[in-house]
Chains A and B, each alone.
Chain A
Amino acid sequence: MEYDLAFVMSAINEVNESVWLGDYKKAIETADINLETAKRLELIGFEKTANEIRGIIKQVRKEAKQEKIKNRRLWVAGKVSKTIEEKQLDPVKNLFGAMLIHLRDLREAIAYLLESKSQTTMESYGDKIPQEGDSLQRTDRYRYSIQRFPDRWEVRAILDIGVLQWNVGKLREELPGYGFSIEEVLKERPSRTFELYSQEMYAQIIGQDNQVGISIYTPDTPDARQRVRKIIETILKTLGQ
């Protein structure tokens, strides 16, 4: 039963990862697949338990307010846990029911965002028309998106491999081509952090599991965007080799 249910949490995390990247379509796809699995496993009953406990909490809170109980939060907790025991409600069902509800709501919110985004006209963007290349980029090995901040470029990427499989040796070979020297800040088991220095640029790479965050500080020259994109693609390609 434990392994059957862990997927709900992984699904929420996966959806959040895609949202982090700006890949809303993938987020909806992931939510749909997992909600379908939940339906197939007949986990919908879990939502009933979650809603029943939510109703109990609401009722007990109301009582505590009416009776002007002094330490309301502790009193409510005592009474709710007693009711859960009496009614023999399963806290695991409650938890996963609540998470399923969250997953469904998350899916709805993203779909709504996507829909409203697709209805946005170029006029309503005004001077904020996204520049070419800001959108999500996909290859079969990685997905990434770039955001421009006043002082830096921020990249979020998801690779098809985890940090432990990174080809760091290759990275050390490739990056001097851009004038970078590389220092590893701290090597920890599931993560790696690098700092890259060159005459004109500074960058940080942080990897955790299959996610990569890259910050690049570079002079604002006309070809900056192109340069950043080239560096990012080299880094992502190299790490995955």
Chain B
Amino acid sequence: MLVNFPQVEFAIYPAVIHIHHMTPIQIEQQAQAISATLQSLSPSTSFRVNLRLLEYCNTRFSEKQVKRIDENFHDYSFGTRFRLRQPPQNPPRRLRYLIEKFFSGDVSGDIGEALFAYFLMSVMNLTSSQIGHTRPVKRRGYLTPDFVVWDSSRRLASVLQKSNYRLPLLAEVKAFTGLIDPARIAHGLAQLQMAIANSTLIGLLFLVVRNEQRQGYDVYLVRMER
């Protein structure tokens, strides 16, 4: 029986970001500030991840066709990189053999999306029909976020720190197994800037970041309003 459930820590970025009049430079600065602050935030809660259910979330909510996210989640959390075989001969001059595999951005992205769905269902108690993955429409050039969340019972009130909010909630998910890249955070902010323009909708940036010290993933929620 599975007894070792990975633990994920969850923190809320304290400030609500008002994105309305932000210029590209200001968005970049904001992304830098988020990136610099994240790992000093103290977690507001933590949750155990049932890997079987995470795999279910992966098959139902992630964009890329990656299987066995449960096993990948385990390896990526620990930072386990597989070693490759090397020939006994030295490599030709100026060349080096590949000795360790690299983490895949697609797998990392899948972990992020599956974890977002897992968080909404297992921690916030939403049902799967309240979560819409709008990525296919986004790929075709329409303006949509990664996810639309129809939280009709206002179960996210505690994390949004608001009791009343307009639906749907629009979310972008970014995952980092290596270093946090502020440029990718800026892209997430920019996408939400467009998606919530001219409205009172709330944008959520869900950041999934591997914590080297803890050998596990931490998740951060950044709230955005116009």
Contact = CB atoms under 8 A, between A and B. Distances in A.
A208 B126 CA distance: 11
Interface residues of B, number: 52
Given A98-B143, A99-B134, A101-B137, A71 B24 contact: yes
A94 B197 CA distance: 11
Nearest to B19: A81
Contacts of B142: 50, 53-54, 94, 98, 101
A101 B190 CA distance: 24
- How extensive is the interface on chain A, given as a class? 35 or more
Interface string B182-202: 000011001101111111010
Nearest to A193: B52
Interface in B122-143: 122, 125-132, 134, 136-137, 141-143
A74 B9 CA distance: 30
Q: Which of A10, A76, A190 has the most CB of B within 10 A?
A: A190
Nearest to A88: B198
Interface stretch (B34-42, B99-107, B144-152): B144-152
A13 B24 contact: no
A85 interface: yes
A33 interface: no
A161 interface: no
A188 B198 contact: no
Interface of A: 2-3, 6, 9-10, 12-14, 16, 20, 50, 53-54, 57-58, 71, 73-78, 80-82, 84-85, 88-92, 94-95, 98-99, 101-102, 183, 185-186, 188-191, 193, 195, 204, 206, 208-209, 211, 213
